[in-house]
Chain A
């Protein structure tokens, strides 16, 4: 692990290996994605045992919701990545604005997901309907929990992006928050493929 997160202005120090944010948080990130990897494997194994059930259930999914949610998360990830770079330059108001818009998109994701759940439940689907929907509701539910947690974290990060706090601490927070948010985005890309796209 690197000993310092960045040089004076905040550009990544490529010579030593640079770990953005809290270095211990990366263990957490790795553990979380490993857990999701196991979950994905369990889903795929169940799908291989009952392909017709899964195919039939997947046909009830609405691609538009998934497309919107993917756009929200990718764009918010982009904004969070920008906010890190801008914060490294010391431009705090711009960095805060990026975080604000990222949070708006995150909230849109939550709202769209909630509406999607309502639509699916209205069609008669629930976690007990069949293995596809069991995995779908649990996996996306856990992911949604991470989105909501990430929104809370970004809200806190924004309070750290102000004068009066050392640049080192500001960067530690914004980089940590960004890493977590990108993890949420990363996991969604696999969820998208598994539950919506793969034929």
Chain B
């Protein structure tokens, strides 16, 4: 069980670092807006996936729940990218 707690702590640290990188990317005006947008989307996707799979333990749940959460994540990130790069 100690290993589980270590793993959880590592996940938390990765989340904090990813958050810091996201903020840096968002507010650094030297980075092109499109690149920053995709980077933040990617980091958000990875962070959400860590929370879902590790904290919520969805990686252990029945397959139907994994599929639902994977689809939800892709749908949310997908719509974020869609509305930016596809002209309405």
A and B, direct touch (CB closer than 8 Å): yes
The residue of chain A having its C-beta at the shortest distance from the C-beta of B66 within the complex is A17
- List B contacts of A14 (CB < 8 A): 60
**Beta-carbon contact of A189 and B1 below 8 Å:** no
**Beta-carbon contact of A190 and B68 below 8 Å:** no
Main secondary structure on B side of the interface with A:
helix
- List B contacts of A192 (CB < 8 A): 19, 22, 44
Q: Which residues of A (72-100) have their CB < 8 Å from a CB of B?
A: 74-75, 77-78, 80-82, 85-86, 88-89
Partner of A48, one of B15, B57, B88: B88
Partner of A193, one of B33, B63, B65, B80: B80
- List A contacts of B37 (CB < 8 A): 198-199
The residue of chain A having its C-beta at the shortest distance from the C-beta of B82 within the complex is A44
**Beta-carbon contact of B9 and A78 below 8 Å:** yes
- List A contacts of B52 (CB < 8 A): 182, 186
With A26-B65, A74-B16 already in contact, the answer to whether A17 and B76 are too (CB < 8 A) is no
Q: Beyond A20-B60, A182-B55, A193-B41, list 16 extra A-B contacts (CB 8 Å).
A: A19-B62, A20-B61, A33-B72, A40-B79, A63-B27, A66-B23, A74-B19, A78-B8, A78-B12, A78-B55, A81-B54, A85-B5, A186-B52, A192-B19, A193-B22, A198-B40
Pick 11 A–B contacts, CB within 8 A, sort by A.
A11-B1, A17-B61, A19-B61, A30-B68, A37-B72, A44-B80, A66-B23, A71-B16, A78-B55, A192-B22, A193-B44
Interface residues of B (CB under 8 A from A): 1, 4-5, 8-9, 11-12, 15-16, 19, 22-23, 25-27, 33, 36-37, 40-41, 44, 47-48, 51-52, 54-57, 60-63, 65, 68, 72, 75-76, 79-80, 82-84, 88
